[in-house]
Amino acid sequence: MAAESGYHLLVPTYSSSFNTCFYCGCIAAEFDYAPPVQYRDFYLATKEASEFLKIPTCGECHEHLKACKAGTLEERRTFAKDKLAKKYAKALTIYEMWSENELNDLDFSLRHSIEAGLTLGEETTERLRYPGFDYEAAEHQQSVPYNTPKYFEVFGDQFTTFREALDFASKAYRIPKNTLKEYFADNNNSFEEAIHAIHKEVAEKEFTKQLKTLCNAFAKKHKQPIIFVHKQVERYLSENEEMTIPEALEHLFLTRVMPQQKIIKG
Ligand SMILES: [Zn+2]
């Protein structure tokens, strides 16, 4: 994969740590990247903290770290440990609460499940305590050919650093910095695309909320099944992009509800 060029492999100083997950000490089967390869351009462009390391990782930590966008080893280590602790929270509690000699009084099935919890809890505790290994990695200098942008643009305003641009955009568009940063990284390193994406999401949420409120009120008022009202309104809206929710409800009333009432009233 050409995209991973420029990353430095974390090589254990001592052979006893070869093929070991840096995060938890299990057998390594994969590599983790700090920062993740898909966010490489984001880190290169913004100069946000990142180390460009390729880290031996076990399958489980690798899976957990797929959700982590952080650029440094330390941040990724904290993320991986948190995930492990959450995943095995039950076993960890058993390990803290019970000891082997308390098991004799229990009936077979309970004893069996507590024993399993104790083993898993002990193993997880060791993984959480694992301090990582001594390593050598080549100088953390970027050897990646990359044209750092001369400035960052926020709808026409130009800034020389990412920080200034983020600060400005966050205040101007009232979007928390962390949210904006994530959307920036996920939207082609563009403030414009990031802000559009956020606004679109907010508008969609608002629309869904409105749809629900109005349809439910209509269903109640005209004694119609809620699902029927929702389905019809959604159909009208998909057939006619110009139509608003109140217009769709009006249409539903005239074409379906009113004729129904006439029949009933005879
Ligand atoms: Zn691991």
| Segments in 107-148 forming alpha helices (H) | 108-129
For the stretch 28-85, pLDDT in tens is: 999 999 999 999 989 988 989 999 999 999 999 999 999 999 999 999 999 999 999 9
Output DSSP code: residue 14: S
Distance 16 CA to ligand 1 centre (A): 16
Sign of CA dihedral 40, 44, 46, 51: positive
Cis amide linkage into residue 176, ω under 30° from 0: no
**125 Cα distance to chain centroid:** 26
Predicted pLDDT of residue 99: 84
As given in the structure block, the two tokens for residue 243 are 């139509």
As given in the structure block, the two tokens for residue 215 are 């349809």
What's the chain's length in residues?
Answer: 266
Distance 83 CA to ligand 1 centre (A): 11
Q: Which residue positions in the chain have pLDDT lower than 50?
A: 1, 140-142
Distance 4 CA to ligand 1 centre (A): 21
Phi, psi of 57, deg, nearest 5:
-145, 145
Distance 32 CA to ligand 1 centre (A): 10
Predicted pLDDT of residue 259: 87
Domain residue extents for the chain: 2-136, 149-211, 222-266
Predicted pLDDT of residue 1: 43
Three-state DSSP at 146 gives coil
Distance 198 CA to ligand 1 centre (A): 34
Element (H, E) at 97: helix 89-97
Distance 26 CA to ligand 1 centre (A): 5
Distance 24 CA to ligand 1 centre (A): 4
Distance 66 CA to ligand 1 centre (A): 13
In this structure, are residues 30 and 24 in contact, taking their beta carbons and an 8 Å threshold?
no
Distance 115 CA to ligand 1 centre (A): 23
Distance 156 CA to ligand 1 centre (A): 45
Distance 135 CA to ligand 1 centre (A): 16
Q: How far apart are CA 107 and CA 103, in angstroms?
A: 9
Predicted pLDDT of residue 148: 66
Distance 173 CA to ligand 1 centre (A): 40
Distance 98 CA to ligand 1 centre (A): 26
Predicted pLDDT of residue 147: 64
Closest Cα partner for 99 from 117, 126, 123, 125?
A: 117
Element (H, E) at 250: helix 245-252
